Structure 1
């Protein structure tokens, strides 16, 4: 986006000054602004998530919930921006061929979740998610079409399972309000150092890349969850009384999975693993908490909130990469911005990583240090992590290796 763009400085104020509309002559400039903003919101989402992870490691659960909510919000705004939807202060606009149309006058937080809830039910959402999730190298829509049910019920099932709805995000906002404005230690509520470490380890396990813009571990785990969700309801064990027992008959699982897999999937070790054993808590546990909904004190829900945010941030990042590819641009076109982000956030010492995905190496070492660090207390954990503690709080690394090559 050029500095001469009318929305380069204080876009929100400019929109309000123009009466919550976009003058016809500035439609292209506003489109450029929204497109650029989608990448920045995505990176900011990862940054907030990283700070939430850092807070978890330091034993600050309330701070983690506060930061996680803003990571969630920024990911939502990023995702909607890639779809041409501007979320502003009491002004939400949708770009159309005829110009910008106001779709809500609600505040930023209310509007973001309301519009996201509506978007998630649309054909555009199904098409986009079906393209950007690529388990075992094939887009999700290929797997879904082979399952016979098509992409619609598969995507709807995924979004429902991760509580991707207005009520959940509104609840997360209420949780943010509670931890941000109420005294935090009237009734102490703390995670153990071991519990904190497991949350952070699970998130970084999900983030391991294969190449620019890929999330192979996360996408594979989502595939297993979706496949089981499609197979199990039609293969229930029936009791002697003719009534369903709530158990699944896995007899035909391997043959069914073979029939829905795109070519080449059989060579993937994870595919072979879920083919042999569809449910394995040790293998799949890093993601499963994202599909739960707990009530109570922050320690009961911080894990699921962080994992749900990780999924939403993954979707927003994938949408940004898809937008870049669809526009005919390439990673080099955003590299200068990524370089500036990396230097400002101390993601590297001197030379820019080449390829950018090499940023994962630091995270991998930090993850290994986390696994062996003492967890007798948060103090022992922090002291044992040394400089690697900072790395595990730099989740904007994901934006850097996803957007630049």
Structure 2
């Protein structure tokens, strides 16, 4: 008999009530706070140690109750958990540079966890230790589960990924060649509904939650046990450069944040549908189907050529790593975990994008927060930001472009020694390791 944790029927029933609209409504109500330069009112009782407050109040709370302050806190936490997730991933990248591969996995796991909690918060699920809640469409709060953070986060995300709201999110917020995913799937499968669910997408990207269970074992091994095996050299400076360059180019905000990644995601999804449901295409080749879809959508030859399958066609390595199922003790499992964390954070960025659009707000509304974060964390020099979101995002990206070019030129000397790589290339490596910038790219809708 399996000991794998599951949600009870009562928990499933409550989780089915979760509403993203209630969270968006609560976020809209924060505009007055933003105009005063704060994320939450000082009078909000959850602004400090929300988990502790719920723990203290839990016994006195009804199974269903109203608490607008909690809803406002939940909506603000969508942004904060996502940013913290990118910050963990940045620290994971910095550990990769140092060759501390155990720390890479450990920090990537926590990036995954924060991304998941951010996604769930946007959908009306609050994860607060062992006192977790669900918010319904009317803004009512329900006691949800007493399961621990790690367990309930993954179980809830897994269940959400099967829901229609998951499919709607992916269908609306993932876009390629100026067309949202749901239009591509409508034309590709000739069906009026987005029936390729969030669960299928997550599985296609290698972000399925069974693998995360394995990664939790990896996290525990790294966190609490000694490493008897001699550390491997990890990846070479050249391979590291190729990997970090791909991460940044996949997140390029110069046209639309994640547009490059979404093009590769689209191709991966279409290929998976074709391979899984080949019978519905009446014997036509994948390339013929893609050509017809591109013609029907009017997206042009570039999209058609990109999406066609060719022998030896290189996959985006992030997607390849994320699909891997390497063991805890595999020398390169750290790349798999890092890639899965990156993809989950991309999903959390999609949740933020949707929430901002539906609330009628933009990143300019809370520039007091992200600008201060950028300064205090050393992402930018004092005075670099001008207070215009579009211009500030552009300047953040220019620094990254310059660093990619500079580090690439540095590696033309065939540097193989990490000490020399860091000594001579540190001016380029440091900005490229600061993946927190990608949080801002995703929030900007640039």
The change in CA–CA distance for 1:316 and 1:62 in structure 2 (over 3 A counts) is same
| Alignment partners' CA distance in 2, 1:366 and 1:298 | 31
The change in CA–CA distance for 1:156 and 1:119 in structure 2 (over 3 A counts) is closer
- Counterpart for residue 6 of structure 2: none
| Alignment partners' CA distance in 1, 2:363 and 2:328 | 44
- Counterpart for residue 357 of structure 1: 393
Deviates further, 76-85 or 161-170: 161-170
The change in CA–CA distance for 1:26 and 1:10 in structure 2 (over 3 A counts) is farther
Give the drift of 1:110.
1.2
C-alpha contact (below 8 Å) 1:49/1:68 kept by paired residues: yes
| Alignment partners' CA distance in 2, 1:146 and 1:16 | 49
C-alpha contact (below 8 Å) 2:161/2:198 kept by paired residues: no
Q: Secondary structure at the match of 1:190?
A: coil
- Counterpart for residue 154 of structure 2: 113
Q: Secondary structure at the match of 2:314?
A: helix
- Counterpart for residue 274 of structure 1: 307
C-alpha contact (below 8 Å) 1:189/1:297 kept by paired residues: no
Give the drift of 1:280.
4.7
Structure 1 unaligned blocks of 5 or more = 237-247
Asked whether 1:190 is paired with 2:229, we answer: no
- Counterpart for residue 284 of structure 1: 316
Give the drift of 1:317.
0.9
- Counterpart for residue 304 of structure 1: 336
Deviates further, 68-77 or 293-302: 293-302
C-alpha contact (below 8 Å) 1:22/1:99 kept by paired residues: no
- Counterpart for residue 263 of structure 1: 297
Aligned length: 391
Give the drift of 1:229.
1.2
**What are the equivalent positions in structure 2 for 1:5-404 lying under 5 Å apart?**
5-19=44-58, 27-96=67-136, 97=138, 99-148=140-189, 150-153=193-196, 155-184=198-227, 186-193=229-236, 194-211=238-255, 214-235=257-278, 252-261=285-294, 263-267=297-301, 269-275=302-308, 277-278=309-310, 280-282=312-314, 284-349=316-381, 350-352=383-385, 354=388, 355-358=391-394, 359-372=396-409, 373=411, 374-404=414-444
The change in CA–CA distance for 1:31 and 1:210 in structure 2 (over 3 A counts) is same
Deviates further, 255-264 or 9-18: 255-264
TM-score normalized by the length of structure 1: 0.88
The change in CA–CA distance for 1:81 and 1:375 in structure 2 (over 3 A counts) is farther
Give the drift of 1:271.
3.8
| Alignment partners' CA distance in 2, 1:260 and 1:20 | 56
C-alpha contact (below 8 Å) 2:85/2:112 kept by paired residues: yes
Q: Secondary structure at the match of 2:419?
A: helix
Structure 2 unaligned blocks of 5 or more = 1-39
The change in CA–CA distance for 1:288 and 1:192 in structure 2 (over 3 A counts) is closer
CA RMSD of aligned residues (A): 2.6
Q: Secondary structure at the match of 1:184?
A: coil
The change in CA–CA distance for 1:389 and 1:91 in structure 2 (over 3 A counts) is same
TM-score normalized by the length of structure 2: 0.81
